[in-house]
Amino acid sequence: MQSAQAKHALIDAGRWLSAQGWVPATGGNFSIRTEQGFVVTASGHDKGALQPEHFLEFDARGSHISGAGKPSAETDLHLALYALSPDTHCILHTHSVAATVLSRLTEPHSLEISGYEMQKALNGFTSHLEALAIPVFDNDQDIPALARRVTEYHSHTPIRHGVLIRGHGLYAMGADMSETRRHIEALEFLFNCELTRRQLEKNA
Ligand SMILES: CSC[C@@H](O)[C@@H](O)C(=O)COP(=O)(O)O
Ligand SMILES: [Zn+2]
């Protein structure tokens, strides 16, 4: 994908994610692979009102190609997630209430979900009976350190659709923009189902 096309796809995704309430108060960051490397959002902007000048382009090794300003504070996490699989071409990071709260309620290293038909919206799933495990990492202001923990986890347990950062949000990945958007929408739906189920069970 050419960088101009990539920026437009990310601007459109930002408007959609903002309308869902999943990127409040400048939270979130987005990237997509390009012919030369990848395009990532600049830091600190309202992700629902991005303009073409709110992006930077880097080559696959992280060397700057174009764009002004500071890249997203979490660019190293995008780089680490791309390095896990050549099939990942788009990464969208969100700060929804459901992902933020549910990740705090999940003590183990992964959020286990099963029994929902919506799991089939995730690449590779063919049945609600298959177990979905979304890895959960403790939040860290040291993003390179967090990125190293993600890389290490993947070496023993493959990361497929996304990861949760505890009390922070979701990083969703896919083979292209459309798959990544579908993964975010499905995961958010599943997080809301799980939160509601847990609340109702607690009150029963
Ligand atoms: C609103 S604070 C959120 C940030 O700390 C960060 O987590 C985030 O998602 C956005 O950072 P950014 O540097 O704009 O890409
Ligand atoms: Zn964030």
pLDDT of residue 192: 98
Q: From the CB of residue 34, how many other CB atoms can be counted at a distance below 10 Å?
A: 21
What per-residue confidence (pLDDT) applies to 28? 98
CA distance 182 to 122: 8
12-16: long-range pairs with CB below 8 Å, 24+: 13/92, 13/177, 13/180, 13/181, 14/41, 14/47, 14/48, 14/49, 14/50, 15/48, 15/49, 16/181
What pLDDT, on a 0 to 100 scale, did the predictor assign at position 60? Answer: 82
Residues in the chain, total: 204
> What are the sequence ranges of the domains in the chain?
3-203
CATH fourth-level superfamily of 3-203: Class II aldolase/adducin N-terminal domain (3.40.225.10)
123: left (phi over 0), alpha (psi -120 to 50) or beta: beta
Ligand 1, residues 70, 74, 91, 96: which to mutate, most atoms within 8 A of Cβ? 74
| Residue 29 near ligand 1, beta carbon < 6 Å | yes
Q: Is the CB of 75 under 6 A from ligand 1?
A: no
In this structure, which residue's CA is closest to atom 2 in ligand 1?
A: 27
Local structure of residue 59 (DSSP, 8 states): E
Pocket test for ligand 1, best of 22, 23, 29 (most atoms within 8 A of CB): 29
pLDDT at residue 61, rounded to an integer: 81
Task: Confirm whether residue 93 is marked as ligand binding.
Answer: yes
The predicted structure's pLDDT at residue 65: 96
Judged by its nearest atom, the ligand closest to the C-alpha of residue 56 is: 1
Distance CA 118, CA 189 (A): 8
Q: Is 70 in the pocket of ligand 1 (CB under 6 A)?
A: no
The answer, as to whether pTM is greater than 0.95, is yes
Please report which ligand is nearest the Cα atom of 75. 1
What pLDDT, on a 0 to 100 scale, did the predictor assign at position 196? 97
Note whether 91 and 30 are within 8 A (CB): yes
pLDDT per residue rounded down to tens, the chain (204 residues)? 999 999 999 999 999 999 999 999 999 999 999 999 999 999 999 999 999 999 999 998 889 999 999 999 999 999 999 999 999 999 999 999 999 999 999 988 999 999 999 999 999 999 999 999 999 999 999 999 999 999 999 999 999 999 999 999 999 999 999 999 999 999 999 999 999 999 999 998
